[in-house]
Amino acid sequence: MSRYSAGVNDINPPLSAMTRHLLFFVFADFQLLDVSGPMAAFEMANRIAPGSYRWTVCSQTGGQVAASCGVALSSQPLAASTRVDTLLAPGGDGVERACDCVATRVWLKEITQTARRVASVCSGAYLLAASGLLDGRRATTHWRRETDFVRRFPAVQLEADRIYIQDDKLWTSAGITAGIDLSLALIADDLGEAVARQVARQLVVYYRRPGGQSQYSALLDMAPAQGRFAGVLRHMREHLHLALNVEALAEVARMSPRHFARCFRAELGMTPVRALERLRIEAARAALESGALSVKSVARDYGFADPERMRRAFVRVLGISPRALQLREAG
């Protein structure tokens, strides 16, 4: 097992009155990149704007805490954690066990009252949701956890395709590397977009990456191949060009429309209409990326009423228009 002492950042610029204290909360089997990615972004910000940040790693009891890859970070116990500017909670294989710890949930509620910002990366949103911090708020998490998250935390307004979301002082991000996107947004919030753009260039990443999480999902992952609605999803994929509605899909499932819509959402974490839109968007995106020349023909072939409706759907879900996607691929 590798060990690395990261209790306080190793790059120690002269601290100023504007130095912001960041607190990374870790637990056994956390995802290392959820922590190291943001740390790298804040380190670069310090090089550009010295004294902007310092950080501490904390855990429930302190000491060495091993990530799921085996690398261990040195941490301070929660009791030693002082008032902080921003708390960041990572995700990882051990997040379920961390959520079960009553003391951790109580601490998260308490520190949220005094911290200026509280953020999560990937499945770290489970920690915030389990503590009741996300009730009634917009949030995101790793796209693979969408269905489970919706089932467990129905009071949270999950927007699973977003790379990151800010709802007042609470910030949540999508899976793993999206922690860097989140950190760039936090840096822009603190130091301005010019600094954040310089950090992005140093890290060789998009300042604002195009598209949402759905660009990384596989359509077949929407449901198990032998699941109750596998046949319905297969019918959707094979008939994207048709004007499908809930009534028609319920007939395929041999259920009443109301019962079908309710069961579909409960099992897949989204409505049939949203699932159909996701399938159409991803199929249309794949066609455009493979060299389709006409946005109009793609809109027709994949069931959009007209190019304008496809454009609006692309912008809402992927954050980029079909034409902009074509230009990006051509460039």
pLDDT category, 240, cuts 50, 70, 90? Answer: very high
pLDDT category, 144, cuts 50, 70, 90? Answer: confident
d(CA 101, CA 79): 15
For residue 220, pLDDT over 50 is answered with no
Q: What is the pLDDT of residues 118-139, one digit of tens each?
A: 999 999 999 999 999 999 999 9
For residue 227, pLDDT over 90 is answered with no
239-243: average pLDDT: 91
Number of domains in the chain: 2
Domain boundary among the residues 180, 209, 238 is at 209
How much of the chain exceeds pLDDT 70, in percent?
Answer: 87
Domain match, 135 and 249 both: no
Q: What is the pLDDT of residues 244-290, one digit of tens each?
A: 999 999 999 999 999 999 999 888 878 999 999 989 998 888 888 77
d(CA 133, CA 143): 20
Residues 184, 200: contact at Cβ < 8 Å? yes
Domain match, 186 and 55 both: yes
- Output the six-digit token pair for 304: 């959009």
Domain match, 238 and 312 both: yes
pLDDT score at 9: 43
Domain boundary among the residues 209, 239, 261 is at 209
Domain boundary among the residues 209, 229, 250 is at 209
Q: Does the model's pTM come out above 0.85?
A: no
Strands 164-167, 170-173: pairing is antiparallel
pLDDT category, 12, cuts 50, 70, 90? Answer: very low
Domain match, 49 and 157 both: yes
Q: List the domain range (segments joined by +) for residue 253.
A: 216-330
For residue 4, pLDDT over 90 is answered with no
Domain match, 151 and 279 both: no
Please tell me what DSSP assigns to residue 247.
H
Q: Which among 157, 103, 144 has a CA at the least distance from the CA of 127? A: 103
Domain match, 193 and 256 both: no
Q: What is the largest CA-CA distance in the chain?
A: 68
What's the distance, CA 204 to chain centroid? Answer: 20
Check residues 221 and 153 and name the one with the higher pLDDT: 153
Domain CATH code at residue 294: 1.10.10.60
Rg of the chain on CA atoms, in Å: 22
Domain match, 51 and 141 both: yes
How much of the chain exceeds pLDDT 90, in percent?
Answer: 66
Domain match, 86 and 101 both: yes
Q: What is the pLDDT of residues 160-195, one digit of tens each?
A: 878 899 999 999 999 889 999 999 999 999 999 999
What's the distance, CA 174 to chain centroid? Answer: 1
Domain match, 168 and 280 both: no
136-153: average pLDDT: 91
Domain match, 190 and 307 both: no
Domain match, 286 and 143 both: no
Domain match, 306 and 227 both: yes
Residues 284, 299: contact at Cβ < 8 Å? yes
Domain CATH code at residue 22: 3.40.50.880
d(CA 275, CA 325): 22
Secondary structure (3-state) at 167: strand
pLDDT category, 325, cuts 50, 70, 90? Answer: confident
pLDDT category, 216, cuts 50, 70, 90? Answer: low
